[in-house]
């Protein structure tokens, strides 16, 4: 049902935790499945230098959170904004159709963290 990459990111998630002095935080949830994701980012010179996540949810939710942090780390804000739900699923060698909403949440949480960062820069 799950690819080896999904199982690896579920069993050995990368970038778990919170960044106390985060530049941006994004939190999203899906009340239907109960998954909740929180992503915090540290940005220096327009580059995401650190990124952490906390996820309450199924294995796919944890795997997509882990993968999206790996995809975004070291990228510019503009590059990270181009990370899509499909890109996350593709990097994990696919997700079962009933689990695609999990990858939607991971990309959404990343985009919300970036939006939060951008809003703080406008002040």
Residues recognised as catalytic: 33, 102
Residue identified by tokens 């996350």 is 88
> What's the token pair of residue 4?
């080896």
| Residue burial 14-50, b: 16+ Cβ < 10 Å; e: rest | ebeeebeebbbbbebbbeebebbbbbbbbbeeeebeb
Answer for the pair 61, 35: CB distance below 8 angstroms, yes or no.
yes
User: How large is the greatest C-alpha to C-alpha distance in the chain, in angstroms?
Assistant: 47
């Amino acid at each position: 049902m799950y690819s080896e990459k999904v199982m690896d990111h579920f069993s050995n998630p990368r970038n778990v935790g919170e960044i106390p002095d985060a530049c941006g935080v994004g939190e999203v949830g899906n009340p239907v499945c109960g998954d909740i994701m929180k992503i915090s980012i540290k940005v220096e010179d327009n580059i995401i230098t650190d990124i952490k996540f906390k996820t309450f949810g199924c294995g796919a939710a944890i795997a997509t959170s882990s993968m999206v942090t790996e995809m975004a780390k070291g990228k510019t804000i503009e590059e990270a904004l181009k990370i899509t739900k499909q890109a996350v699923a593709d990097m994990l060698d696919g997700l079962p159709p009933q689990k695609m909403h999990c990858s939607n949440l991971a990309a959404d949480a990343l985009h919300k963290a970036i939006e939060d960062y951008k809003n703080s820069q406008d002040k």
